Structure 1
Amino acid sequence: MRNTIGFIGLGKMGLPMARHIATSDQIVVGFDTSPERLAIAREAGLTVTAGLEDLLKSSAILISSLPNDEALLSVSEQICRCAVAGSIYIDTSTVSVEASATVAEQLKRAGIAYLRCTVSGNNLMAEAAKLTVMVSGDHAAFEACKRLFRCWGEACFYLGQADQAKLMKLSINLMINLTSGMLAEALSLGQKGGLAWSDMWPVIEASAVGSPIVKAKAGALSKRDFTATFTVEQMRKDVGLVLDAGKSLNVPLGLTALAAQLLSSASASGYADEDYAAIIKVVEKASGLG
């Protein structure tokens, strides 16, 4: 007999993740606080509900994709109040380690297994089921849910019993953000010295620094298309979490702090809703280009 899986948060990441599970012959019911997102999910073929409390009571497995710490803490409180003891809660949100640890304590008291299941990749990779999945928490729950994680991508890693997955996601986003900073300076230097924007990109892709993230960004950026897969403001939020983690763990994150300033400049320059790579335009302006 199949159990109901409740999926909370049907945004640009949550919706395709929920749909992939539903198409793997699982019973999935989605919830979102936005009527617009519920309508989009319904049109996409997902079963949805506007009643969170009933969903929490009827689901053996709960999954969430949430925007921030506050949303996670709120959902966790409701899960502790309504969900059945023995159920499993999987959170895929990018949040602080501190908030996740608080949730872990709440769920432990309620008798609910907690898996921190962060994913690396953008909404296009979510649509294509090519996310990298990082999980920590209760190992028995991980083994029970491993088949679900494979719905989101082939690469799946179990990292430990606590909040290692949350910290791993922050570490990866640190590197992604610094990659955009590296590109900003390199491209500005090349242009100022007379290299054509369109000539630099094929060389960068073919070079030793042509990493998967660089190649993924090259198609759009080589045409100066800064349409967001992940916005400046979203990256600012994540980098803030990274810096908070560094402070908590006494790890100096000087390069990350500088990159955070570039993101602030990008937001102040009107690029808040563009792709986080818009920091390239900030460095260009500072270099007297354009």
Structure 2
Amino acid sequence: MTETLTLGWIGLGKMGLPISTRLAAAGYDIAGTDRDQERISEAAASGVKPAATLADAATRDIVFTSLPDDKALRAVALDGPLFQSMRKGTILVETSTVSPGISAEVAQAADARGIAYLRAPVSGNAAIAHTGNLTCFVSGPKAAFDTFLPVAQAFTRAQKYLGTAEEARYAKLAVNLMIAVSAAMMGESIVLARKGNLAWQDILDVLTNSAVGSPMVHYKAKSLETRDFNSTFSCRQMAKDLDLIVGAGHAADMAMPLATLTREVYGALIGRGEGEADFISTVRLAEWLAGLGEPDLEQNEGRLA
């Protein structure tokens, strides 16, 4: 193992907090910082050393960033003290979902400072981050990936190296596009079945036990059994990612009809006040558009498959 590597973590939010504390539990010397002092205190209670400033966290061998969007990454990496504080020859691992464009700018700045930059967006959500069952897609210098891999294995179940440039960014956007469109389809499918007088649990059973029963369908069907719309990944977050997806497609001279339409679905959910609800709230939007109220969850009690 490579616990002798020192780690710095910038951004102790929904994903950064559970990942950094998992690394601390694995025996790594890790220091973390966040704009929210309560987050730093929470991380410290689980073994992450408090870093007084971003610059303090950035002095480590491998520095991670876990940030909400392009604007935040620009503020930290390009307009902030990150690269001035990092030592030549160290590694920056950026785990967020951001655009290929801003990522390429960070790569150029890192190269100018002699810093190896890995794009390593994680796939999964905050509910499972503490379990080590995330996956990550990685691109950047291969030697840096080889150094990073044992650390990645402490908080992910699978790691895929994809190339030397922005390949990992496109991989993450491609995955999230499939998830977003699938959620929109799932909402309409369930409501169509309700219009055909299928009981709530029956249509969920049909979807999970048919050819479309993907891991995502199984996962979301489980929460839909009780109509649990508490957020694992919010409608607002999905809208942000769809903006990145459409932007990346347009920058590549690619038409994005499904992504664009699905973005409107999430815009409607945000407009209805459901921005912080789970992204599978597409079901509730489809019900509203169809003039349906809440289903009877007891309708097929006693005859579940």
For residue 52 of structure 2, the aligned residue among 25, 43, 50 is 50
Q: Aligned runs of 1:246-265 on 2, under 5 Å?
A: 246-265=249-268
The secondary structure found in structure 1 opposite 2:8 is strand
Amino acid at match of 2:66: S
For residue 152 of structure 1, the aligned residue among 152, 155, 162 is 155
99-108 or 15-24: bigger deviation: 15-24
Instruction: Give me the TM-score of the superposition, normalised by structure 2.
Output: 0.92
User: 2:9·2:32 contact (CA, 8 Å) conserved in 1?
Assistant: yes
Identity %: 38
- Residues in 2 aligned to 1:55 and 1:234: alpha-carbon distance in whole angstroms: 27
How big is the shift at 1:227?
Answer: 0.5
The secondary structure found in structure 1 opposite 2:92 is strand
User: 1:228·1:273 contact (CA, 8 Å) conserved in 2?
Assistant: yes
Instruction: Give me the TM-score of the superposition, normalised by structure 1.
Output: 0.97
**Deviation by residue 1:136-155 (Cα, 9 ceiling, x = unmatched):** 00110001111011112221
243-252 or 199-208: bigger deviation: 199-208
How big is the shift at 1:61?
Answer: 0.8
Q: Aligned runs of 1:93-112 on 2, under 5 Å?
A: 93-112=96-115
Match status 1:220 vs 2:223: yes
How big is the shift at 1:46?
Answer: 2.2
How big is the shift at 1:43?
Answer: 2.7
User: 1:243·1:256 contact (CA, 8 Å) conserved in 2?
Assistant: yes
Q: Aligned runs of 1:57-68 on 2, under 5 Å?
A: 57=59, 59-68=60-69
User: 1:117·1:134 contact (CA, 8 Å) conserved in 2?
Assistant: yes
User: 1:227·1:275 contact (CA, 8 Å) conserved in 2?
Assistant: yes
RMSD between aligned alpha carbons?
Answer: 1.2
User: 1:115·1:137 contact (CA, 8 Å) conserved in 2?
Assistant: yes
Aligned partner of 1:70 in structure 2 is: 71
The secondary structure found in structure 1 opposite 2:157 is coil
The secondary structure found in structure 2 opposite 1:203 is helix
For residue 178 of structure 1, the aligned residue among 181, 202, 205 is 181
Aligned partner of 1:87 in structure 2 is: 90
Amino acid at match of 1:11: G
- Residues in 2 aligned to 1:170 and 1:26: alpha-carbon distance in whole angstroms: 30
**Deviation by residue 1:151-191 (Cα, 9 ceiling, x = unmatched):** 12221100000011011001100000011011111011001
- Residues in 2 aligned to 1:11 and 1:28: alpha-carbon distance in whole angstroms: 16
Which structure shows the bigger proportion of residues in helix conformation? 1
How many residues are matched?
Answer: 289
User: 2:265·2:282 contact (CA, 8 Å) conserved in 1?
Assistant: yes
- Residues in 2 aligned to 1:154 and 1:280: alpha-carbon distance in whole angstroms: 30
Aligned partner of 1:161 in structure 2 is: 164
Amino acid at match of 2:101: E
The secondary structure found in structure 2 opposite 1:5 is strand
Amino acid at match of 1:35: Q
- Residues in 1 aligned to 2:38 and 2:221: alpha-carbon distance in whole angstroms: 32
Unaligned 5+ segments in structure 2 are 294-305
How big is the shift at 1:226?
Answer: 0.5
- Residues in 2 aligned to 1:226 and 1:200: alpha-carbon distance in whole angstroms: 18
User: 2:24·2:47 contact (CA, 8 Å) conserved in 1?
Assistant: no
User: 2:25·2:46 contact (CA, 8 Å) conserved in 1?
Assistant: no
- Residues in 2 aligned to 1:163 and 1:261: alpha-carbon distance in whole angstroms: 27
For residue 214 of structure 2, the aligned residue among 196, 201, 211 is 211
Match status 1:26 vs 2:28: yes
How big is the shift at 1:119?
Answer: 1.0
Aligned partner of 1:274 in structure 2 is: 277
User: 2:54·2:82 contact (CA, 8 Å) conserved in 1?
Assistant: no
- Residues in 2 aligned to 1:50 and 1:289: alpha-carbon distance in whole angstroms: 52
Unaligned 5+ segments in structure 1 are none
Aligned partner of 2:301 in structure 1 is: none
User: 2:10·2:57 contact (CA, 8 Å) conserved in 1?
Assistant: no
**Deviation by residue 1:247-277 (Cα, 9 ceiling, x = unmatched):** 0011211111111111011111111110011
Amino acid at match of 1:242: I
78-87 or 259-268: bigger deviation: 78-87
114-123 or 194-203: bigger deviation: 194-203
- Residues in 2 aligned to 1:198 and 1:154: alpha-carbon distance in whole angstroms: 32
User: 1:266·1:279 contact (CA, 8 Å) conserved in 2?
Assistant: yes
For residue 115 of structure 1, the aligned residue among 115, 118, 128 is 118
How big is the shift at 1:14?
Answer: 0.8
The secondary structure found in structure 2 opposite 1:272 is coil
Amino acid at match of 2:27: D
- Residues in 1 aligned to 2:111 and 2:47: alpha-carbon distance in whole angstroms: 34
